[in-house]
Amino acid sequence: GAVVSQHPSRVICKSGTSVKIECRSLDFQATTMFWYRQFPKQSLMLMATSNEGSKATYEQGVEKDKFLINHASLTLSTLTVTSAHPEDSSFYICSARGGRKDTEAFFGQGTRLTVV
C-alpha cells in the first residue's frame, strides 16, 4: 500500500501554546486528507476532510478556529491545535487518499499529543 508519514509521533506541549502536526503522502499525490481523533479504547472520530487547495470541511462539533487544517500541496496537510488545553490531549491520526474518490485511504502512524 501507499505510505503516509505523520510527524511527530509524540508531542508534549504546555497549555496555551499551539502545536502543529504534519501528514505527508510519500509516494502518491493526496487529493484528499482526513484528520481523526481517537480517545483511549475508542473508535476513530472524523474531525475534518480537506481537499488540496480548498478549505477543510469540519464535522459537527469540531471547532475550526481551534483545529486549523491546511492542505496546501498534494503531499502535505497540517493540523494545528491552537491554544491547547489538557482536554485536547489525544491521539490524532491522518489518512490520505489520491486519485478517484473510491480508492482506499491510507493512515499515518498517529500523533500522541499531551498538553500539560
Partner 1 sequence: GENVEQHPSTLSVQEGDSAVIKCTYSDSASNYFPWYKQELGKGPQLIIDIRSNVGEKKDQRIAVTLNKTAKHFSLHITETQPEDSAVYFCAAREGGGSYIPTFGRGTSLIVHP
Q: How far is the CB of 68 from partner 1 (least distance, A)?
A: 20
- Gap between the Cα atoms of 40 and 42, Å rounded: 5
Name the residue nearer to partner 1 (CB basis): 87 or 104.
104
Nearer to partner 1, 15 or 29 (CB): 29
User: Cβ of residue 46: shortest distance to partner 1, in angstroms?
Assistant: 7
What residue spans of the chain are helical by DSSP H? none
The residues of the shown chain that bind partner 1, judged by CB under 8 A, are 1, 4, 6, 34, 41-44, 46, 49, 93, 95, 97, 101-102, 104-110, 112
By C-beta, is 6 or 78 nearer to partner 1? Answer: 6
* Minimum separation from the CB atom of position 19 to partner 1 (A): 18
Minimum CB separation of residue 79 from partner 1 in Å reads 14
CA gap 68, 87 in Å, rounded: 17
**Count of C-beta atoms within a 10 Å radius of residue 55:** 12
Q: What proportions of the chain, in percent to the nearest 5, are helix, strand and coil?
A: 5, 50, 45
C-beta closer to partner 1: residue 14 or 101? 101
Name every residue whose Cβ is closer than 8 Å to that of residue 17 and which is 6 or more positions away in sequence. Answer: 83, 84
